[in-house]
Structure 1
Amino acid sequence: MRIVDLTHPWGIHTPGWVGYPGGKLYYTQNLQTNQIVSQKIETSLHSGTHLDGPMHGTDGGLDMASLPLDKLIHAGAIVDVSDEVEDWGLIEPEHITSKVEVKKGDILIIHTGFIDYYQGMPKQDLVRYFTMHPGGSVRLARWMADMEIRWWGIDAGSGDHPMNTTIRNMRPDLLARFEKHVGMSYSEFFGGDYTYTHHMSGREIESDIFPMHHLAFQDGCIHAENVGGDLKSVLNRRAVIGAFPWKIEGGEACPCRIMAFFDIGTDEVIEGLASGSFQNEG
């Protein structure tokens, strides 16, 4: 079996999403005084490679502790769309299905190439990484729901297009540059408002922001952001993929380790999860 790490290291320089604080790591005890080393971490749950839980984007969504193992670990596909999208591009279903086989119920990892601009990389550019990356369209959110994607990950700061998030309110200068770049308003670019039915109250909702969070999460299609590690070495391949966050009761997200497993019996893993051979204990 070959295991490939798809996780960025976490440390004091790990950047938070736009408007989110960075992390802190410091000593609370040391050998020379306490005869033991102890440290403390303070961090946003959306720091580094992390998985957004359902309650992050929808009413009544599950917390991190409630995610079953067969949600977190399953067969899936890793796809390279870097030659299909550029700065501020939209990711469509065809960009994925033309490159790799995606099956109903899969886990999906998307490589946009923006991993190159993350913290500590030779081409580091955090403004470009967090505010100019490609993101999913409304069509992609609906396609993922139809495909019953367990979760998906992206090598960028958000699963949503940055100009389809609150970044457009926080950085009006970048919104103006974006609209000049695409030659139209953000509303025209994204196709105007999208509509969906609130899964608990039945309220009809019109929205113009966060479709990969609001629309997708209530259908159970959550996502991981800042996917990293050796992602480039396993593009356009199928694998068993797993995300391993803390089991936080009440947690809406969590930094996690993401791994791809090759040369392993995919059917055996799926059957084991289905039969309860891999159990949630404790």
Structure 2
Amino acid sequence: WIGVDCGSADHPMNTIIRTWHPGRFQECDAKMKKVYGKSFDEIFPLKKYYQVMHLKLFPKGIVHAENLAGDIAKLGSTRAWIGCFPLRGIELESSMCRIVAWLPPKTKKPARKKAAKK
């Protein structure tokens, strides 16, 4: 699974946001045409990419935790054990969760043996 510190791992224009904010979609589409010479839908066809993080990955057992915040940036690329503890419920599509990271213990370097004096 993956964790992201935003509302969705999907591109906003591949979610319902493109319908809720049509002006923003038009701005995005215009920029895509200017920069890449193709419309947003030519590059990311809606039938293929609409909520791809949800519709394509979830059936394969790849899930994601959204809206992670707080100290997540402090982890960077540090290896850690991650725990995800969702609130209990029946037939939930999603749930608020407590996400916890445990860092590996710091190990002390073995002391160097000093050479015996002659």
What TM-score, normalized to structure 1?
A: 0.34
Q: Looking at CA atoms only, which structure, 1 or 2, has the larger radius of gyration?
A: 2
Q: Does 1:169 align with 2:23?
A: no
Query: Residues 187 and 208 of structure 1 are in contact (CA less than 8 Å); yes or no, is this contact kept in structure 2?
Result: no
Q: What displacement does 1:234 show?
A: 1.2
Q: Does 1:239 align with 2:103?
A: no
Give the residue type in structure 2 aligned to 1:172.
P
Q: What displacement does 1:225 show?
A: 0.6
Q: CA deviation digits over 1:71-126, x for unaligned, max 9? A: xxxxxxxxxxxxxxxxxxxxxxxxxxxxxxxxxxxxxxxxxxxxxxxxxxxxxxxx
Q: Quick check: which one's strand share is greater? A: 1
Give the residue type in structure 2 aligned to 1:167.
I
**What is the aligned partner in structure 1 of residue 28 from structure 2?**
178
Q: CA deviation digits over 1:39-65, x for unaligned, max 9? A: xxxxxxxxxxxxxxxxxxxxxxxxxxx
Moved over 3 A (4+): none
Aligned mates of 1:181, 1:235 — CA distance in 2: 31
Aligned mates of 1:243, 1:188 — CA distance in 2: 37
Specify which of 28, 35, 43 is matched with residue 189 of structure 1: 43
Give the residue type in structure 1 aligned to 2:5.
D
Q: What displacement does 1:189 show?
A: 2.8
Q: Quick check: which one's helix share is greater? A: 2
Q: Gaps (5+ residues) in structure 1?
A: 1-150, 194-205, 265-282
Q: How does 1:210-221 map to 2 (within 5 A)?
A: 210-221=51-62
Q: CA deviation digits over 1:133-183, x for unaligned, max 9? A: xxxxxxxxxxxxxxxxxx211111111110011111121101011112222
Q: Secondary structure at the match of 1:174?
A: helix
What TM-score, normalized to structure 2?
A: 0.77
Q: Gaps (5+ residues) in structure 2?
A: 106-118
Give the residue type in structure 1 aligned to 2:70.
G
Q: How does 1:1-282 map to 2 (within 5 A)?
A: 151-183=1-33, 184-190=38-44, 192=45, 207-264=48-105
Seq. identity, %: 38
For the structure 1 residues 182 and 207, does the alpha-carbon distance in structure 2 shift closer, same or farther, using more than 3 Å as the test? closer
